[in-house]
Structure 1
Amino acid sequence: MIVTIDGVAASGKSSVASGVARHLGIPYVSSGLLYRAATLLALEAGTDLSDAPALLALLGAAPLRLEPLPEGNRVVLTSTAALHPERDLTADAHTSAVDAGVSAVAQLPEVREWVNAQLRALTPPFVAEGRDMGTAVFPQAQAKFFLMASPRVRALRRVKERPGDLAEVEAALVARDAKDKAQSAPAADAQIIDTGTLDLAGVIAAVLRGLHQPASSDLS
């Protein structure tokens, strides 16, 4: 079984996917963590975020490993012996600098295909979260969900996670929504959940209910 949970930035995809996966007793997969790690490596190397060949060369020289662990996903820069030791990139991939650059990286078709290939190599069952899991990556998924909320609600959630000016965070989310629009459209057979009035437990419960309902229904 594959369950996909897509949605806009800061809509709670990772937390919801983790909760649903724990309830089902299967792993969850964070596609965004691979994009974030790729962005982090590019920023550290001074690589142009719009240069797809350079990014792919960087990823080839510094392979990433996504680990869908029960307690949460980790992304690790694998060891290449003489070049560098193995390094956990998970924490460093969640910074404002990465937030600002990840959309540019995720828009590159070549990088998207690289990420998608890593995800398709994983063995089901799992819950996959991201932007286009139910459309481009796992169109065959048995259950698909799309999370949405207003920019203000998402900004409030984000500043609770890490310090930041609410107005600036909200403006950044609006800008990112525009950049991510092509990748963030829900699948035609996805169930849409507006998370604005729900807490985390409520969204997880809505997804679990949705697993037993027909697709293309709105849940709240």
Structure 2
Amino acid sequence: MIVTIDGVAASGKSSVSSGVARALGVPYVSSGLLYRAATLLGLEAALDLHDASGLLVHLLAHSLRLEPLAGGNRIWQGERELTGELHSTRVDAGVSVVAALPEVRGWVDAQLRALPSPFVAEGRDMGTNVFPHAGAKFYLTASPHIRAQRRASERPEDVPAIEAALVRRDALDRVQSAPAPDAVVIDTGPLTLDGVIQTILAELPEGLWSEKQVSGRATPVY
């Protein structure tokens, strides 16, 4: 009762996962928000993002809570909502460093595995490491240029600068971001958002979701 959607940075994982989850009537879980929140807290505390022990101590003292919803995840540190602060250039620049720390990855994985299914989980190693026995696995990819064009519509940077940053990010994420051997790989470049969502829905194994859930599918919007 778990679907994993992994992929490279800016491949559309969050939008696609949200659309699939809404079509199936279940929550989706964004692992990336936990890594981004950990990065933000580390930056605000002026910590060395390479120092796993120091960062983990800080995270345990300032516990984070992920609120998984079909329409979009929210993340909290106590009564403070961090969601709107997590997609910034400075967090982009640091999150790959934080996500590569085994101690932090273990902390994130434990939080994700404690969540009750069913749900759609998106990230970089959901199908390979966190939920290796998931009922269906997908991996999204696209060229750096196409991903940069998409991200440029959301941020003030120009396409060449974003593309260069994505190429660097891909190199940093290569260890964590690889498709599971049994994952369906989807090039999102030539597809619309709805096209990717419908491709995934069509690939879901029969019997993974109840008839009631599948009959409630709706076409997601951008």
Class of the TM-score when normalised by the shorter of the 2 chains:
over 0.9
SS in 2 for 1:72: coil
- Alignment-derived partner of residue 217 in structure 1: none
- RMSD of the TM alignment (CA)? 0.8
Deviations 1:41-95 (A, max 9, x none): 00000000000001101101100000002321001002xxxxxxx1000011110
* Residue 163 of structure 1: how far off its partner (Å): 1.5
2:8 counterpart residue number: 8
| Inter-partner Cα distance in structure 2 for 1:163 and 1:204 | 27
Q: Look up the match of 1:118.
A: 111
**What amino acid does structure 2 have at the position aligned with 1:154?**
R
**What is the aligned partner in structure 2 of residue 81 from structure 1?**
none
Query: Which one-letter code corresponds to 2:200 in the other structure?
Result: V
* Structure 2 residue 185 is matched with structure 1 residue 192: yes
- Structure 2 unaligned runs (5+)? 207-222
Contact 2:136–2:205 (Cα < 8 Å) also in 1:
no
State which of 152, 161, 165 in structure 1 corresponds to 2:145.
Answer: 152
**Which string of whole-angstrom CA distances, capped at 9 and with x for unpartnered residues, describes residues 107-163 of structure 1?**
000000000000000000000000000000000100000000000000001011121
- More relative contact order in 1 or in 2 (CA 8 Å, sep 6+)? 2
Within 1, Cα distance between the matches of 2:76 and 2:112?
A: 15
Residue 218 of structure 1 corresponds to which residue in structure 2?
none
> Unaligned stretches of 5+ in structure 1?
79-85, 214-220
3-state DSSP class of the match of 2:39?
Answer: helix
**Scaled by the length of structure 2, what TM-score is found?**
0.92
Quote the residue 2:66 is aligned against: 66
Q: Structure 1 residue runs of 4+, over 4 Å off? A: none
Which shows bigger deviation, 158-167 or 181-190? 158-167
Q: Distance in 2 between matches of 1:71 and 1:209?
A: 21
Structure 1 residue 96: Cα displacement: 0.5
Corresponding residue for residue 217 of structure 2: none
Q: Distance in 1 between matches of 2:156 and 2:39?
A: 21
Aligned partners of 1:194 and 1:171: how far apart in 2?
A: 20
Alignment match, 1:56: 56
What fraction of aligned residue pairs are identical, expressed as a percent? 68
Determine the C-alpha separation between the residues in 1 that align with 2:159 and 2:69. Answer: 32
Displacement of 1:212 in angstroms is: 3.6
Q: How many Å separate the matches in 2 of 1:100 and 1:138?
A: 27
